[in-house]
């Protein structure tokens, strides 16, 4: 049996706008509340401690894959990176099914622990025990959910009802799922002691989940299986639907493991305000912020000083992507919809990544590179190769590249040819063509590389030969 943590990393970048954006959604933004790191970093750290025997895979879109790669590179975990790319955003049911079929193809006894990449959990020891109990339940053929002990009559979450005698951390059969109740109903759920928040964390055998889809949504199973078999348009035929609506509310073999985890889905600015260390007036600030005569407010500044006077119950967030000012407990989604209609570029899904959103310079054994610009189908890099060093011999499956020598001299292997290039020379590397760059000189070689293709990630490489002892045959190169 193989155990895999499946981390769902995606989103539209709207729930914490303007700090999160379509090109850098919530899992990838650094938060003081997450220890100054990104929520994806925090999730990977947590899973490494709580389920160390499990391998880790990240499900995301091709557009977000470079951000995941950067996260793993910053952690020094590039060799552990495994991406499962969903070609279309179709909510959690198709995404989880895609990961399930991928793991099942490798091990018919595979067990998956599926978790969002953007949650905070404070009671980590309890989380670890809950996970282990959920794994044990999954091994008996159940789909196990982690149920969060509610702390307030929250109307924005789904609830799971179970037996009133359910013991903490014990896997107990699910009676029903209830979506986002009205306030009075949510209060009754809180008072009853038998309802738990559905946090979207699941543990199951891969073959159990496939059987659940076969019973509940065979159309999704057929479409995702066809996509994996080479039908490039099949995934787009999937209905955009959550795993709860598609499967969990209908499949009988489900259990819940109740746990008090100190959990937060970081789903709104109000939630971040609740997590922050507020002063005696209920204010929390980040950046160069000065408050005067303010109460119960959250103010986040960027580089310039911010002065706020005479406000209460207010959220104010200033970033390069935009400025948000709203009363607490208002619906940000409605305001963003209005902004998108009046100022379309604000939330343009196809926007080019801004310089402040670019990955940092990444070191390699032969030198270093930095992403200068990226859009949906193109990426521009500055590559520096140290004297006497060379990249691996490799080829790309989904992109072509154009290189321009800026400084130094380059020796380039292109298929069966070897060429010597000087500053100003350029060369095109076709899709599937083997290639290598070498610096035979005594100065740093600088090359500008432009990639064009449908999958612009470092994992789109077949490494054929390498001077530095790195794995070959399909491992991430460069």
* pLDDT at residue 126 tops 90: yes
Mean pLDDT, residues 144-152: 94
pLDDT at 320: 79
- pLDDT-derived band of residue 477, with 50, 70 and 90 as boundaries? very low
Burial of 118 (0-12, 13-18, 19+ CB in 10 A): buried
pLDDT for residue 224: 97
Longest CA–CA span in the chain (Å) reads 76
Strands 83-85 and 378-385: unpaired
Q: What is the mean pLDDT of the chain?
A: 88
pLDDT tens per residue, range 188-235: 999 998 999 999 999 999 999 999 999 999 999 999 999 999 998 999
Query: pLDDT band at residue 101, thresholds of 50, 70 and 90?
Result: very high
pTM recorded for the entire structure = 0.74
Asked whether the beta carbons of 344 and 338 are under 8 A apart, the reply is no
pLDDT digits over 309-359, tens only? 999 999 999 987 789 999 998 877 777 766 655 554 444 434 444 444 445
- Specify the 3-state DSSP secondary structure of 77: coil
- Cα 334 to Cα 26, 219, 330, 339, 342, distances in angstroms: 18, 33, 9, 9, 13
- Nearest by Cα to 247 from 294, 201, 210: 210
pLDDT tens across 249-281, in order? 999 999 999 999 999 988 889 889 988 889 999
Check whether the bond before 113 is cis (ω within 30° of 0): no
Tell whether the model's pLDDT for residue 60 goes beyond 50: yes
**Does residue 67 or residue 132 have the better pLDDT?**
132
Confidence check: pLDDT of 397 > 60: yes
- Name the percent of the chain lying above pLDDT 90: 64
Element (DSSP H or E) covering residue 71: helix 65-75
Which residue in 449, 257, 432, 469 sits closest to 370, CA to CA? 449
For residue 473, pLDDT beyond 60: no
- Cβ(171)–Cβ(258) below 8 Å: no
Residue 308: closest CA among 292, 284, 287, 319: 292
410-460: pLDDT as tens digits: 999 999 999 999 999 999 999 999 999 999 999 999 999 999 987 777 667
pLDDT at residue 52, as a whole number = 93
pLDDT reported for residue 344: 47
- Helix ranges (DSSP H) in 300-419: 332-342
Cβ atoms of residues 409 and 421 within 8 Å:
yes
Domains of the chain: 3-264 (3.90.550.10), 278-329 (no CATH), 361-465 (2.60.120.10)
Place of tokens 């404070």: 122
């Amino acid at each position: 049996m193989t155990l895999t943590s499946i981390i769902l990393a995606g989103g539209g970048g709207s729930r914490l706008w303007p700090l999160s954006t379509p090109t850098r959604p919530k899992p990838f933004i650094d938060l003081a509340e997450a220890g100054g790191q990104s929520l994806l970093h925090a999730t990977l750290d947590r899973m490494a401690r709580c389920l160390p025997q499990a391998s880790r895979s990240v499900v995301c879109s091709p557009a977000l894959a470079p951000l995941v790669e950067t996260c793993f590179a910053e952690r020094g975990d590039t060799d552990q990176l495994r991406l499962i790319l969903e070609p279309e955003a179709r909510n959690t049911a198709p995404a989880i099914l895609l990961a399930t079929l991928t793991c099942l193809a490798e091990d018919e006894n595979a067990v998956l622990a599926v978790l969002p990449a953007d949650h905070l959990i404070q009671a980590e020891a309890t989380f670890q025990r809950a996970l282990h109990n959920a794994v044990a339940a999954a091994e008996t053929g159940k789909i196990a959910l982690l149920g969060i002990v509610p702390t307030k009559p929250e109307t924005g979450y789904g609830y799971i009802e179970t037996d009133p005698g359910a013991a903490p951390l014990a896997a107990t059969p699910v009676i029903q799922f209830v979506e986002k109740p009205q306030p009075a109903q949510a209060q009754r759920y809180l008072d009853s002691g038998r309802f738990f928040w559905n946090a979207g964390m699941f543990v199951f055998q891969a073959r159990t989940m496939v059987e659940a889809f076969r019973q509940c949504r065979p159309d999704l199973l057929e479409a995702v299986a066809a996509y994996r078999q080479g039908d490039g348009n099949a995934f787009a035929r999937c209905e955009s639907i959550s795993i709860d609506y598609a499967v969990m509310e209908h499949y009988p073999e489900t259990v819940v493991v109740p746990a008090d985890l100190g959990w937060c889905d970081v789903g709104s600015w109000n939630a971040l305000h609740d997590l922050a260390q507020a002063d005696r007036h209920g204010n929390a600030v980040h950046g160069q912020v000065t408050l005067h005569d303010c109460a119960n407010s959250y103010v986040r500044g960027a580089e310039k000083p911010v002065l706020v006077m005479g406000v209460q119950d207010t959220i104010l967030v200033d970033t390069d992507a935009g400025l948000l000012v709203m009363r607490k407990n208002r619906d940000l989604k409605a305001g963003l919809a209005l902004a998108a209609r009046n100022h379309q570029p604000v939330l343009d899904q196809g926007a080019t990544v801004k310089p402040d959103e670019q990955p940092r310079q990444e070191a390699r054994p032969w030198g270093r590179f930095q992403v200068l610009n990226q859009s949906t189908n193109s990426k521009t890099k500055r590559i520096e190769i140290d004297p006497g060093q060379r990249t691996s011999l490799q080829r790309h499956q989904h992109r072509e590249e154009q290189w321009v020598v800026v400084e130094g001299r380059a020796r380039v292997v292109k298929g069966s040819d070897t060429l010597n290039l000087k500053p100003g020379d350029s060369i095109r590397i076709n899709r599937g063509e083997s290639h290598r760059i070498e610096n035979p000189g005594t100065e740093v070689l600088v090359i500008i590389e432009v990639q064009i293709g449908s999958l612009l990630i470092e994992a789109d490489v077949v490494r054929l030969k390498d001077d530095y002892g790195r794995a070959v045959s399909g491992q991430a190169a460069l």
